[in-house]
Amino acid sequence: MGREFSYIQGLERSILTEYRETLWQPFCRAVKRYRLIEAGDKIAVCISGGKDSMLLAKLIQLLHRHSEVPFEAVYLIMDPGYAPENREKVENNAKLLEIPYTLFESDIFEASASQEKHPCFLCARMRRGCLYGKAQALGCNKIALGHHFDDVIETVLISMLYGGQLQAMPPKLRAKNFPGMELIRPMYMVREQDIIAWKDAMGLSFIQCACRFTEGAEAGEHESKRQEVKRLVQRLHEENPVVEQNIFGSIHNVQLDTMAGWKYKGKEMSFLDVYDE
């Protein structure tokens, strides 16, 4: 027991010291810059079992411990149909990191796997709905997801290259179907490479998505557009080391007066609408 306590103390200390500049400070900057956590919030931290959501849970836990802003946090693990070994790994990691979790079950993997087209999109949408519902039932007003900096810039490129639109992943948004609920992304400014570096240094191993579709993807049967874009960004980085920061900066510096058209709150606008003003 003494060794476990020593391990978790060292792990928590690493976030606040050795990885302060790469994990803790970008996390805190995003929370402050985008006003993600406010006094009186009750936040459901959603843990999928991967490296990102597990680190998010630890960051929120440390923030709760050190922040002067009073808020509550609950830690939700949803089992969407994991194989027994994957569910066990998720729970064991939560216990190792001393995260006091609440676990509930759903049949999302079974439902989404029956869809031949876009099973990952359906899975993500169903997961979010289940998480909103459970969080709301627990009296929460926000759910926190583990999307990070790389997810943000990859989403921008995916929407442009494959969707024919300029669309980003916002730091927070209001739920359409769950009144009073908000989704927040506190790791919005944390780089994936820094998450991996911390994970490896701590000797941690987490599950991937763990559904049948992504197991096929790992075997080369499928390849997501996100994986393609990730490789594209890596190639661009070789020529321009600040390309990731430039993509991230571009969604904070949109020049609407140079755009031919845009949409705001569902209403389509053309530059002609304001051309003569």
pLDDT in tens, 141-182: 999 999 999 999 999 999 999 999 999 999 999 999 999 999
Distance of CA 165 to CAs 55, 155, 169, 184, 260, Å?
32, 11, 13, 23, 12
Nearest to 156 by CA among 18, 248, 68, 239: 248
Residue 275 lies in a domain: no
Query: What is the rounded CA–CA span in Å between residue 247 and residue 191?
Result: 13
pLDDT at 136 over 50: yes
Could you tell me the residue range of the domain that residue 34 belongs to?
2-253
The mean pLDDT of 93-107, rounded to a whole number, is 90
User: What is the count of structural domains for the chain?
Assistant: 1
Which CATH number covers residue 83? 3.40.50.620
What is the helix (H) or strand (E) element at residue 10, kind and residue range?
A: helix 2-16
- Rounded to whole angstroms, the Cα distance separating 156 from 151 reads 9
Q: Is residue 276 part of a domain?
A: no
265 part of a folded domain: no
The reply to whether 73 falls in a domain is yes
Mean pLDDT, the chain, integer: 89
Q: How many angstroms separate the CA atoms of 175 and 96, rounded? A: 32
pLDDT in tens, 5-26: 589 999 999 999 999 999 999 9
Whole-model pTM: value is 0.89
Distances (CA, A) of 96 to 7, 33, 84, 90, 196: 9, 31, 18, 10, 18
> How far, in Å, are 104, 155, 181 from residue 226 at the CA level?
29, 8, 28
Return the structure tokens found at 273: 């609408």
Report the distance separating Cα 76 and Cα 82, nearest Å: 15
Residue 262 lies in a domain: no
Instruction: In whole angstroms, give the CA distance from residue 16 to residue 66.
Output: 11
Alpha-carbon separation of residue 132 from 43, 78, 184, 200 (angstroms): 11, 11, 12, 31
Residues 182/173, Cβ–Cβ less than 8 Å: yes
Model pLDDT for residues 190-224, shown as the tens digit of each residue: 999 999 999 999 999 998 865 545 444 443 434 57
Domain contains 48: yes
Residue 71 placed within a domain: yes
Residue 41 lies in a domain: yes
